[in-house]
Amino acid sequence: MLPLLAATLLLSPALSTPPPVSTSTGFHILLLPKDASLPARSVSMIHTGAGQSRAVAGEPSPGGGDLVFYQNGASPDSTLATDILPQGFPMSILFAPPENGTDVSPADVTVSGATSGLFVDEEEYAPSIEYVDGGRFWICESWVAYYQAVYPVFSWSAGEGEAGEACVEVDVVPVCETLEDLPDGALGSHELVQEVRCFVDNGAAGEGRRSS
């Protein structure tokens, strides 16, 4: 099992009503393992080259500070992006070709302007992040050549593709955050940012998974 999935996620007490959901233009991406005994993780990124990072699974920040994303454009021509400050240019999540002899594609966060097909499915009480081509999401212990080390990488596979023992399947959900305005002279734009439904906090997201 993944060594970096050893902590315990603190979830809200069981609720008799649906978990609280709100709307926001910003959100962090929470990864909830299908195996509910494993802790949630939040998507962050590690630098892997000029204009290129790999999306990895880190421990959620209890006091805020998780990487803030937004949906740029409407599905199916949408992408999930984050702003790099102070320049204010966007980096988008794109899935690289499968690696390590599996059917799993690791997620990169890149300055490419390509459309990723990721979007927020705004189900009333259980918003989730989906891929326009369907498939399954994973956290995989994967070799990152730039660091010559293994990291827990946010990944995707089509259909029922094999992921391997180093991967844990996850649900992917948005948790509301404040999307800061871009600074004057920013290289990017928030013109196409969509307001989406999202869980109000990590506890609500965990409760939403249990009740869905």
Is 90 exceeded by the pLDDT of residue 178? yes
Q: Taking 70 as the threshold, does the pLDDT of residue 5 lie above it?
A: no
CA gyration radius for the chain? Answer: 16
The pLDDT value given to residue 106: 95
Q: Does residue 15 lie in a domain region?
A: no
- Neighbour-count burial for 40-58, b at 16+ CB within 10 Å, e otherwise: bbbbbbbebeeebbbbbbb
| Domain, as residue range, for 151 | 21-211
DSSP state of 5: -
| Other beta carbons less than 10 A from residue 103's beta carbon | 17
- Say what the pTM is: 0.88
Please indicate, yes or no, if residue 12 is contained in any of the structural domains.
no
Token pair, residue 83, equals 């702003």
Give the number of domains in the chain: 1
Structure confidence at residue 24 (pLDDT)? 97
178 is a domain residue: yes
Position 210 scores a pLDDT of: 55
Mean pLDDT value of segment 91-113: 87
Is there a domain that residue 165 lies in? yes
pLDDT greater than 90 at residue 125: no
Residue 1: inside a domain: no
- pLDDT tens per residue across span 40-90: 999 999 999 988 999 999 999 876 779 999 999 988 889 999 998 778 889
Q: Give me the CATH number covering residue 181.
A: 2.80.10
Higher pLDDT, residue 25 or 184: 25
The answer to whether residue 11 is domain-embedded is no
In a domain, 162, yes or no: yes
Rounded alpha-carbon distances, angstroms, from residue 144 to 78, 112, 140: 27, 20, 11
* Closest alpha carbon to 139 in 28, 208, 65, 38: 38
Percent of the chain having pLDDT more than 70?
A: 88
Q: What is the mean pLDDT of residues 117-136?
A: 91
Is 11 a residue whose pLDDT tops 50? Answer: no
Question: Is 54 among the domain residues?
Answer: yes
Give residue 3's pLDDT band: very low, low, confident or very high (50, 70, 90): very low
pLDDT, one tens digit per residue, over 130-171 is: 999 899 999 999 999 999 999 999 999 987 767 888 999 999
